[in-house]
Amino acid sequence: MQRIQVIDSHTGGEPTRIIIAGGPDLGDGPLQDRRRIFAERFDDIRRAVVDEPRGSDVLIGGLLCKPVDNRCSAGVIFFDTAGFLGMCGHGTMGFVATLQHLGHIELGPHTIETPVGPVEIELAENNHVTIQNVASYRTHANVQIDVPNYGLVIGDIAWGGNWFFLVKNSSEELSSDNTDHLLRVTKQIRAALKQQGVRGPNQEEIDHIELYGPAMDSANQSKNFVLCPGGEYDRSPCGTGTSAKLACLAADGILGAGEVWRQESIIGSVFECSYQQTGDEKIVPTIRGQAYVCGESNLILDPHDPFCMGIQI
């Protein structure tokens, strides 16, 4: 009987489950290689940890790794019910809260290793975590997509650690009692992008769809709804999605370097953000949110259990 020790947290309502012991042995190569080995040889462990009955589509998982670069406090590989992620903003905040809970780190600045590069973070009082995300950029503006049974959708394609299509002309009501409809619409948009061959510059799938509109609270600039690869929506404002959004705001000259943008999620949680310009038309986003540890447990993998490695439909 295998036991996997995990710590659960949430960041603005979005859950993260970090494997801290009993996970797969991926060797000690670069995190990109370890992510590939995880996907090729231990995908059943990913499913056992985040799929039902132990998890659900809303859950993001992470594996605590020994970093290659000894300047980093820890390394992490993120995954969800659909596969592996490049980066995860809310997940990094949850990971940092987990490291603090374990006594691995104290308040102050730290570097976290991820498969898409090192991420600088700052852990502060009251569960506040600030992350300096990977360089983010927009690759295409005003892409027109004909979505069957819905209509013409116009949006931007941007990278914020994952690939996003940010819909510009949405008139959908972004409210928490409209999420079933918003999920249907964003899944239709994602399917149309795939069907029409709209991809990232290296043929990457655009697997996150972001709608945005006016904020509920006048202290915030915008509210969003983000469809994640697993088929659920992000309860937090989505760190990588907000980074992609900042890249678009910067490219359109709407938000200047150093100016504050408060991004509200569909459930009202907030990330406070800004960016610095790099020389090459990319930006480096800074995102601040709050993450709380909310559970510690051992997952039990009983080989006699017919759904031991998750329900697959």
Query: Distance (Å, rounded) from C-alpha 240 to C-alpha 143?
Result: 20
Query: Distance (Å, rounded) from C-alpha 233 to C-alpha 185?
Result: 12
| Nearest residue (CB) to ligand PYC, 88 versus 192 | 88
Residue with tokens 């009251």: 126
| Nearest residue (CB) to ligand PYC, 99 versus 134 | 134
273 assigned to active site: no
Closest CB 164 distance from ligand PYC, rounded Å: 10
Residues of this chain that bind ligand PYC (CB under 6 A): 14, 60, 88-90, 162, 228, 234, 236, 238-240
| Nearest residue (CB) to ligand PYC, 11 versus 170 | 11
- From the list 72, 88, 228, 273, the catalytic residue is 88
Query: Distance (Å, rounded) from C-alpha 29 to C-alpha 97?
Result: 25
Give Cβ neighbours of residue 267 (< 8 Å, ≥ 6 apart): 12, 13, 176, 235
| Nearest residue (CB) to ligand PYC, 38 versus 301 | 38
Burial environment of residue 46 by CB neighbours within 10 A (0 to 12, 13 to 18, 19 or more)? buried
Closest CB 81 distance from ligand PYC, rounded Å: 11
Closest CB 124 distance from ligand PYC, rounded Å: 19
| Nearest residue (CB) to ligand PYC, 225 versus 301 | 225
Torsion of CA 23, 28, 33, 37, to 10 degrees: -40
- From the list 65, 72, 228, 238, the catalytic residue is 238
Q: How far is CA 86 from CA 44, 190, 209, 266, in A?
A: 19, 18, 16, 23
Residue 233 DSSP class:
B
Evaluate whether 168 touches 156 at the Cβ level (below 8 Å).
yes
308 assigned to active site: no
Closest CB 156 distance from ligand PYC, rounded Å: 17
Closest CB 227 distance from ligand PYC, rounded Å: 10
The CA-to-CA distance between both ends of the chain, in Å, stands at 25
Q: Which residues are catalytic?
A: 88, 238
